[in-house]
Amino acid sequence: MDKIKSLADLKKIRDNVQSKIELREKSENPEKSVQIKVAMATCGIAAGSKETMTYFIENLERNGIPAIVTQTGCMGYCFAEPTVEITKPGEEPVVFGHVTPHKAEEIIQKYLKNGELVEGIIPVNYNSI
Amino acid sequence: MSYNMHILVCGGTGCQASSSKTIISRMNEYLKEKNLDKEVQVIATGCFGFCEQGPIVKIMPDNTFYTQVKPDDTEEIINEHIIKGRKVSRLLYKEPEHHNPVSDSKHIEFYKKQLRIALRNCGFIDPENIEEYIAREGYTALAKCLTEMTPQEVINEIKLSGLRGRGGGGFPTGLKWEFASKYVADQKFVVCNADEGDPGAFMDRSIMEGDPHSIVEAMAICGYSIGANKGLVYIRAEYPLAIKRLRIAIKQAEDYGLLGENIFGTGFGFTIEIRYGAGAFVCGEETALIHSMEGHRGEPTTKPPFPAESGYLNKPTNVNNVETFANVPVILNKGAKWFASIGTEGSKGTKVFALAGKINNVGLIEVPMGTTLREVIYEIGGGIKNGKKFKAVQTGGPSGGCLTETHLDTPIDFDNLIKVGSMMGSGGMIVMDESDCMVAVAKFYLDFIVEESCGKCTPCRVGNKRLYEILSKITEGKGTMEDLDNLRNLSHVIKDTALCGLGQTSPNPILSTIDNFYDEFVAHIRDHRCPAGKCKALLTYHIDSQLCIGCTLCARNCPTNAIAGERKSPHFIDTEKCIKCGTCIDKCKFNAISIR
Ligand SMILES: Cc1cc2nc3c(=O)[nH]c(=O)nc-3n(C[C@H](O)[C@H](O)[C@H](O)COP(=O)(O)O)c2cc1C
């Protein structure tokens, strides 16, 4: 272990280790990040939701979008798996169907980065408690 | 790649006692078995504070808060929550009022009114990993002080923040540092008082277990401002986990060059050693503490000279409490103005309390100064256990007092608590209900004092013993009204003449209970009656002739043959023979026997 000899050294270590606890810090204030819930029930997993989730985690980080990616149970749209619910800070949640890694990339680039809508939104017209 | 999920498991003393270590090792095993050990990280943290509901397991990023987790639950948590994304609802906390499960800690009443400054990292980081502390701005305050500020500027910042000592006295910390900085000497010392002797208190222990680096950093900052290069932590040997974590923290800080010579290349050097105490209450008093560290008997000496002038080895020494230190790095990072914006006029920031007694949510809490006792007891604490009635709350430990219903809306701060006849102390808060006898409570604290008095000065050694004897007399129904006056007078003499803070405050629990519960004392003395039904000598057992059917069960089980009566007709108790063992009450199937 190299000793910390200056403020710059300390900052360097901090930048390196920040990512270790970033997940925890973001989760304490979820409303400040993009929240992505991937449906991971049997139907979702069978349709490849695990890959979708991993794709989101790795590529959101790469694109510098602060986000919390979690899994949830079946959302009921088994015809459109993998399904993903996305909530941007201060906005209503939007559910996307058939989200393959390819679709995930489109969502990241268009919906999350530029605010454009993409096809495949499942209308949600019920209230949940 | 970094982990997708973090599982935080409480590794404080309380949760470890209920198997949190096994939970952690089982989780790691299952994760490995399921090939998830690269994606999910299990972290042993410090105390979450919600000890009543421990062991606590928190899952991030979805912030799920599981309570009372057992080692056998780990497989289900991993299979259901981690793999399938379904919360294990039977392990979620249920608010006692509506019984609906609450999934994340933000929505639990216990946490809603809390503001965690001293406990900011407890239950959040791995206390045995310096990098997690660094990631939370750790050691940036030290860096800032050493590279950008003069010692006097650091002192000014602490003065401006309004921080007052959390060890009991509430002395302004910045001012204390300034005194120590003014004395010229070849060697000065920084001492951290981690003796924590108040019965039921565990604030300092939890900080050291959950965030030891904050203490290390703050001591170095203090050393820089007063011109000391040596720090000593005085900790009781019965805190093994806190000692272990402190040791690890000191070693890691040395390895990273954050303790030792030439820190941040500035030429300032600082080292920290640990000194062990044997757990005597008086050794928390700073002069006694210093003598104990020097290898002498842990007995106090008169002040002045204050430690700032002549302390450890007769050198200028600055003594601060653990929680006081824990606030220091945050103040320097966020600024004195920010800190001073929290709290009341005369008391800034927050205070950590150990909630105990007849309260639903026993645990460790941190609230802004100015929060009322009612908010702490009813909202955070969840009210009184078993639906009983609130009677009193004891603050300030053996030096404090008992407050009543009428004080519940008092905003808690140093000055307000003194005004109503108690004190902040180090943060013990014991709640009592209608079944607690206040004379017995006063006697309990006196018993503690008699045990813990070092015996050096007469008022404390002999005076407290006499107070205890008078209280015993009263609880046995042998007291006189004159005894009440004697209690008061002797209390004032002890307060005025005792050598150290122990004796000067030891009569407080008596004085405040006489003031606030005068009728209860009188009931013991005049009516030979204990209204709470606690003082054994004053109780009598009665059989209700309406309810008794004469089954003879009580009479047959009475060990002293104190119960007599014809079969199938009401029985009665000979109070002379009765030893009040309670066997008859346990045996009676008709609720016919009561205590009066
Ligand atoms: C009998 C007695 C016991 C004490 N016990 C403690 C203790 O356990 N921990 C503590 O920090 N201060 C304790 N104190 C207060 C210390 O003497 C001292 O005021 C304190 O450590 C100063 O730190 P602070 O200014 O940060 O509060 C005790 C005082 C007395 C009179």
pLDDT above 60 for A6:
yes
Distance B195 CA to ligand 1 centre (A): 8
User: In residues, how long is chain A?
Assistant: 129
- Domain segments of chain B as ranges: 5-112, 130-339, 350-433, 438-526, 540-595
Distance separating alpha carbons of residues B172 and B320, to the nearest angstrom? 11
Distance B555 CA to ligand 1 centre (A): 55
For residue A44, the chain B residue with the least C-alpha distance is B84
A26 and A74 assigned to the same domain: no
Q: How do residues A97-113 score in pLDDT, each as one tens digit? A: 999 999 999 999 999 98
A61 and A103 assigned to the same domain: yes
Q: pTM here?
A: 0.90
Token pair recorded at residue B321: 């409490």
Q: Which of B239, B283, B302, B321 to mutate to test the pocket of ligand 1 (most atoms within 8 A of CB)?
A: B321
Position B126: which residue type? D
Per-residue confidence (pLDDT) for residue B424, from 0 to 100: 93
Nearest to B61 among A13, A41, A70 (CB): A70
| E strand or H helix that includes residue B428 | strand B428-433
A38 and A26 assigned to the same domain: no
Per-residue confidence (pLDDT) for residue B571, from 0 to 100: 95
- Residue of minimum CA distance from atom 5 in ligand 1: B284
Distance separating alpha carbons of residues B348 and B327, to the nearest angstrom? 11
Average pLDDT over residues A81-98: 89
Third-level CATH fold of B350-433: Ubiquitin-like (UB roll) (3.10.20)
Closest-CA residue to A71 (of A40, A107, A108): A40
Position A83: which residue type? T
On the question of a common fold for B130-339 and B438-526, the answer reads: no
Does residue B317 line the site of ligand 1, with CB under 6 A? no
Contact B255 A24 (CB under 8 A): no
Does residue B320 line the site of ligand 1, with CB under 6 A? yes
A8 and A22 assigned to the same domain: yes
Residue whose tokens read 């680039």: A109
- Residue A22: its chain B contacts at CB < 8 A? 2
Does residue B195 line the site of ligand 1, with CB under 6 A? yes
Ligand 1 atom nearest to CA at B325: 26
A86 and A115 assigned to the same domain: yes
Query: For testing the chain B interface, which of A24, A31, A35 should be mutated: the one with the most B CBs within 10 Å?
Result: A24
Q: How many domains does chain A have?
A: 2
A17 and A37 assigned to the same domain: no
- Residue B255: its chain A contacts at CB < 8 A? 1, 3
Closest-CA residue to B187 (of B38, B314, B99): B314
Residue A4 contacts B where some CB pair is shorter than 8 Å: yes
B463 touches B490 (CB < 8 A): yes
Does residue B123 line the site of ligand 1, with CB under 6 A? no
Q: From the centroid of its chain, how far is CA B564? A: 50
Does residue B453 line the site of ligand 1, with CB under 6 A? no
CATH number where A84 lies: 3.40.30.10
Does residue B169 line the site of ligand 1, with CB under 6 A? yes
Contact A72 B140 (CB under 8 A): no
Distance separating alpha carbons of residues B351 and B356, to the nearest angstrom? 16
Range B438-526 classified under CATH 1.20.1440.230: yes
Confidence band of A61 (pLDDT split at 50, 70, 90): confident
- Spell out the CATH class of B5-112: alpha beta
A49 versus B384: the higher-pLDDT residue is: B384
The helix-helix angle for B212-226 and B203-210 (nearest 10°) equals 100
Does residue B166 line the site of ligand 1, with CB under 6 A? yes
Domain with A22, as residue range(s), is 1-30
Query: For testing the chain A interface, which of B119, B256, B259 should be mutated: the one with the most A CBs within 10 Å?
Result: B256
- On average, the pLDDT of chain A sits at 85
A60 and A9 assigned to the same domain: no
| ipTM for the predicted complex | 0.78
- Residue A6: its chain B contacts at CB < 8 A? 147, 264-265
Residue B61 contacts A where some CB pair is shorter than 8 Å: yes
Distance B284 CA to ligand 1 centre (A): 5
A58 and A40 assigned to the same domain: yes
- Residue of minimum CA distance from atom 23 in ligand 1: B320
Q: From the centroid of its chain, how far is CA A107? A: 11
Distance A128 CA to ligand 1 centre (A): 53
A59 and A73 assigned to the same domain: yes
A68 and A13 assigned to the same domain: no
Does residue B506 line the site of ligand 1, with CB under 6 A? no
- Spell out the CATH class of B130-339: alpha beta
DSSP state, residue B36: -
- Residue A30: its chain B contacts at CB < 8 A? 61, 63
CA distances from B583 to B435, B484, B557 (A): 20, 35, 7
Per-residue confidence (pLDDT) for residue A125, from 0 to 100: 57
Closest-CA residue to B536 (of B476, B583, B587): B476
Sign of the torsion angle spanned by Cα atoms B345, B350, B351, B353: positive
- Residue of minimum CA distance from atom 20 in ligand 1: B167
A79 and A128 assigned to the same domain: yes
Per-residue confidence (pLDDT) for residue B62, from 0 to 100: 84
Third-level CATH fold of B540-595: Alpha-Beta Plaits (3.30.70)
Per-residue pLDDT of chain B (596 residues; tens, 9 = 90+): 578 899 999 999 999 999 999 999 999 999 999 999 998 999 999 999 999 898 999 999 888 999 999 999 999 999 988 887 788 989 999 887 777 888 888 888 899 899 999 999 999 999 999 999 999 999 999 999 999 999 999 999 999 999 999 998 899 999 999 999 999 999 999 999 999 998 889 999 999 999 999 999 999 999 999 999 999 999 999 999 999 999 999 999 999 999 999 999 999 999 999 999 999 999 999 999 999 999 999 999 999 999 999 999 999 999 999 999 999 999 999 999 999 999 999 999 999 999 999 999 999 999 999 999 999 999 999 999 998 999 999 999 899 999 999 999 999 999 999 999 899 999 999 999 999 999 999 999 999 999 999 999 999 999 999 999 999 999 999 999 999 999 999 999 999 999 999 999 999 999 999 999 999 999 999 999 999 988 988 988 999 999 999 999 999 999 999 999 999 999 999 988 998 888 999 999 999 998 87
Question: Per DSSP, which regions of B253-376 are E strands?
Answer: 271-277, 317-321, 350-357, 363-368
A40 and A20 assigned to the same domain: no
B2 versus A128: the higher-pLDDT residue is: B2
Q: Which residues of A4-41 are buried (b: 16+ CB within 10 A; e: fewer)?
A: beebebbeebbeebeebbebbbbbeebeebbbbbbbbb
Q: From the centroid of its chain, how far is CA B508? A: 19
Please compute Rg for chain A using Cα positions. Answer: 17
